[in-house]
Structure formats: C-alpha cells, structure tokens
Structure 1
Amino acid sequence: MAKSAKPLDSLLSLERLRTLTGHDESLLCAMLAMTLKSNSTDLNAAAALYARADWGELAKSVHRIAGAAQITGARRAEHACRQLETACLQSPPDNIFLANLWSEVSPAVEEINASIADYLEQHSAQ
C-alpha cells in the first residue's frame, strides 16, 4: 500500500459496494475503476472551473462527484461536495468561503482516488 493511501474501507462503505455487486469481486473492481476514472475526470474539470470562477458549472461538476460519493458511501467527500455545490449557487458568491470549501473537496476526492487505485492494484495482483 502506498504510504499516503488509507485503507479503502476507512473512506467508503466496501460492504455496501459488495452488496451492490452481489459479492462479485471482479464486478466490484470494475465499479471502483469506473468511479476512479469519473472522479479523476470530474475533479480535473472542477479544478479548471474553480480556476475560472465558473461557479454555476462548478456546482454541476461537484454535484456529479457528490453523487458518486453517495453511492459508494464516501461521506467526507459527499459532504464537502454538497457544501461547495450549495455555496456555488449563492448570489453573490463568497469567494473566500468557496476557497475554503474547495480546499476540503479536492483533498477528500484525491484521498478516495488514491485509496481506490491502491485497492485495485492490490486486487489485480491476486
């Protein structure tokens, strides 16, 4: 396991995902791989939107990430994304508050991505 990667089951509900996939490990790994890919794509898009201060589109982007986090049971990431989504839709936007929320969203999603990648690496070797 990479030093920075936490055990995946400490960040999301592996048991919930196992139930969703009928305890099929290959299906679980496929679902996690798809989650990792979409999280990475959405987080990159969100970072670009944040840099451009495109709050309306950023709200949509973090909404997608929050949905994936909700499905997987990644509560920290879901909560951070939902807060940022709500703040993006405020008028006028509070740039300092948005910056604080972004500083929670990005690391939370990156942490999940690192743990998913580590989990997949461990389980592909078996």
Structure 2
Amino acid sequence: DIYAAGDVAEFEGMPYGIWPAAMEQGKIAGNNMAGGDMVYEGTVMANTLKVVGVDLASAGNIDAENEFESQVFTDENIYKKIVIENDKITGCIMLGDTKGFSIMTKAISERVDVSKIKNQILSAGFNFDG
C-alpha cells in the first residue's frame, strides 16, 4: 500500500496545498496505516488573511462566473457573499467582517440545507453562532 498526504498528494487531480487538507489527509493516512479503513472525501478550500489591516476569508466555490444563486451583503467597509447551489452553501467570501466564517465552512463541508434561512444569512443581526 502507498499512503500520501499534504503537498505531495492530489485528490481527484487537484493538489490542495493548504494546511487543513494536509492535516485531514494525514489523520486518514495514519489511521489507515494502523489498520483503519477511513476514506478521504476532500477538504473545503478555505483561507483567511489580513490585507492592509482588513480581514479577508474565502471558502469553497466563490462562483466567479455567477452561475449559481448567491446572497450578497455590502456596506461601507464590508462585503459578504454566499454561493448557494441546490439549497446548500457551496462557497463564501467575507471581507471586512469574518464573523461566522468557521460556521460557513462547516455548513459547506456538511452540505447543510439552508433553504429556510438562505434569505436571512447575510442580513444584519443574523446570529451565525445560534
């Protein structure tokens, strides 16, 4: 058997090159080397950084081609976009305010149905943590 994880590994033809994918792949490879039977199903591509003092986070498919439904919120210092496909969040961008980013990435990876709340997710006062 051959086991690989991190920057040297590709999944479905794609090298992830991000730390969360390397950690997840490493856990699965280690488990399987010890006799386990875990399957890697991919990692949500997510990155956070600070640009000139402004927080920026993105995850999943940001849908640059505008092929899918999206919700966008903007004000003077904030831009947020969520991409929705088949009532599930498939990607997001948060600039200026990244509150709730970990909840978004979890919703993306767990393919949570947001059909009942999708029009409220980016509204002012929406509680990402509740």
Give the alignment's TM-score, normalised by structure 2.
Answer: 0.26
TM-score (norm 1): 0.27
Larger relative contact order, structure 1 or 2 (CA cutoff 8 Å, min sep 6) = 1
Q: Which has the higher strand share?
A: 2
